[in-house]
Amino acid sequence: MQTIGIKRSSTDGAERARPGPARDLTPLLAGAATAVGGVGAVLALADSGSPLRGPLTLFFLLAAPATAIAAALHGLPPLGRILVAGAGAVVVNMLVAQAMLAVHRWSIGGGVAAVTAISSLTLLLVLVRRLRGRTAQRRTD
């Protein structure tokens, strides 16, 4: 039996470390998205009458589960990860809405809190899994 492995090119590291201002753009956009989503969640939970409440809350309800799901799918190519994370975010929101309607406990704040809890739990499980993998890897080295 012969095992055939895939060799990565030596330019992978060079492509990731882009020179110039574009390399600093990704963390900046992630921070801005987190701030916008956080403001949307706070506006929804505070029951504010602001006209920005609807769009920012919608952004939070789509971005929070999508981020958690995308973190769990780090092995997929970027386009596949985006598509699956977006679809998963819609599914999480629909399941939360359906469960809340089934038990006659629908509220905007409750929906935001439930999506926050599910997204946080998913992200926490991903972080625990990654930390365990690093610990197991250190034991074998």
In this predicted structure, the answer to whether residue 77 has a pLDDT above a threshold of 90 is yes
DSSP 8-state class, residue 102: H
Higher pLDDT, 81 or 138: 81
Give me the residue label for tokens 């625990």: 128
Half-sphere exposure of 136 (CA within 13 A, CB side): 6
Query: Of 32-36, 55-59, 127-131, 136-140, where does mean pLDDT reach its minimum?
Result: 136-140
Q: What is the dihedral of CA 102, 105, 108, 112, to 10 degrees?
A: -80
Contact between residue 58 and residue 43 where contact means Cβ atoms under 8 Å apart: no
Mean pLDDT of the chain: 86
Q: ∠80-84-87 over CA atoms, to 5°?
A: 145
Q: Which helix (H) or strand (E) holds 21?
A: none
Query: Of 19-23, 71-75, 93-97, 108-112, where does mean pLDDT reach its minimum?
Result: 19-23
Q: Please tell me whether residue 66 adopts helix, strand or coil conformation.
A: helix
